[in-house]
Amino acid sequence: MTLNLSVDIDKNSGYCFGVVEAINKAENELDKGVELYCLGDLVHNDEEIKRLKKKGIKIINKETFNNLTNKNVLFRAHGEPPETYKQAADNNIAVVDASCPIIKKLQQKIKDSYKNNENIVIYGRPNHPEVIALNGQIDHNGIIIQNKDEIDFDKIPQKITLYSQTTQSLDGFYELLRSLQNAGKEVKVKDTICRTVSNRRAELENFCKNYHKILFVAGKRSSNGKVLFEVCKNVNPNSFFISKLQDIDQNWFDPEDRIGVAGATSTPKWLMEKVKEHLESI
């Protein structure tokens, strides 16, 4: 039986401009026939990585990078700490720098604060590449806090400057700020959350209200994807997280359902289009 599903793609979902620029830089090099390596996954989306690998990009880890010489290596949108650039120079590596301009500005701000002898606290995931790169600007002396509930206030200096990973929750940032202030800390606030990302919360909330079911498409390792999927679930409990077409279960849907398809800032439009085509064929 044909389900006759009605499917719309959220027009605000998909790559942010930083990711678009990174992929464009990669494809420009590959189209010129350059042998191109990428330090870490260019985006946290396995389907897009598969596509880029078919075009010739070679994904490498830090250990392989450290032993590489005389090659072309792309640094992804998340940015890299200073020691990575030094290693590239030492190994005669030509860097294709795809660091997001917003993150580059943030790196400079955090560096300036450190030079002014400020105690830096970063709201973010300790193992996220953007946070590692940020902390690298200040000789890895920042205090990383992922969740306000995990704060050890005794280890936080009395006077601090609070920064954020660009893709963190705006609400979470200000909850953390209130917790620090309530504990008597003197906080200089540097709200460095990317509004391109944070504005999507309200846009996504409005989108999810209009459909029986939501399919949220993102890579399993996408930090932004996890945050935005929770937004979907809170507004529309009938929201399902998928990373690829094979994750779709036909039993989720009823005949004549209106389906909304949305994605993270690392989700390619072409993948959402494929999901739409698949749903319309059920």
- DSSP-based three-state secondary structure for 261: strand
Residue type for position 268: P
Q: CATH fold of 6-14+198-281, please?
A: Cobalt-precorrin-4 Transmethylase; domain 1 (3.40.1010)
Under CATH, which architecture does the 102-193 domain have?
3-Layer(aba) Sandwich (3.40)
Handedness of CA 212, 255, 269, 74 (dihedral sign): positive
* Stretches in the chain below the pLDDT threshold 50: none
Residue type for position 248: I
For the chain, state the CA radius of gyration. 21
Tell me whether domains 17-99 and 102-193 share a fold. no
- What's the confidence (pLDDT) of residue 2? 86
CATH of domain 17-99: 3.40.50.11270
Cα end-to-end distance, the chain, whole Å: 8
The domain locations on the chain are 6-14+198-281, 17-99, 102-193
- What's the confidence (pLDDT) of residue 197? 80
Q: What is the DSSP letter of 154?
A: G
- What's the confidence (pLDDT) of residue 154? 93
- What's the confidence (pLDDT) of residue 47? 95
Q: Give the span between the Cα atoms of 97 and 256, in whole angstroms.
A: 47
Q: How many CB atoms lie within 10 A of CB 171?
A: 10
- DSSP-based three-state secondary structure for 253: coil
Instruction: List beta partners, residue 214.
Output: 239, 260
Q: Give the span between the Cα atoms of 23 and 44, in whole angstroms.
A: 12
The pair of structure tokens assigned to 209 is: 């209200």
Q: Which of 274, 268, 271, 272 is nearest to 22 (CA)?
A: 268
Q: What is the DSSP letter of 139?
A: T
Instruction: Give per-residue burial for 8-41: e unless 16+ CB within 10 Å, then b.
Output: ebbeebbbbebbebbbebbeebbeeebebbbbbb
The residues assigned a catalytic role are 130
User: E strand or H helix at 162, and its extent?
Assistant: strand 159-164
The β-bridge relationship of strands 258-263 and 213-217 is parallel
Q: What is the DSSP letter of 184?
A: T
Q: CB–CB of 165/122 below 8 Å?
A: yes
